[in-house]
Amino acid sequence: LLRDTEEFRVYYNDLLAECGYDAFFWENRPVTHQSLDENYECNLIRSNYLATKMADTNTFSQYFDESKNVVTFNNLG
């Protein structure tokens, strides 16, 4: 849906934006063909620290490419 449906992308983005937090970390389990029948869940974790930071557009710029829809990073935890 996120990839193919603009209406859903707008809905989902608005849903996140309206959570009431100034800043948050957002995570969800991977969505796979095997998990399509399961309820979707995600966690929004309020971050007062993140709310005080300015966006850094340079550090990770090498990983972003307009021709790619998704960028993934290894979990450091």
- Report the predicted TM-score, pTM, of the whole model to 2 decimal places: 0.61
Residue 30 has pLDDT above 80, yes or no: yes
Q: What are 25's two structure tokens?
A: 């970390």
Give the number of other CB atoms < 10 A from CB of residue 64: 9
Domains of the chain, by residue range, sit at 6-51
33-54 pLDDT, tens digit per residue, is 999 899 989 999 999 999 999 9
Contact 19, 51 (CB under 8 A): no
Contact 50, 25 (CB under 8 A): yes
Closest by Cα among 1, 32, 34 to 15: 1
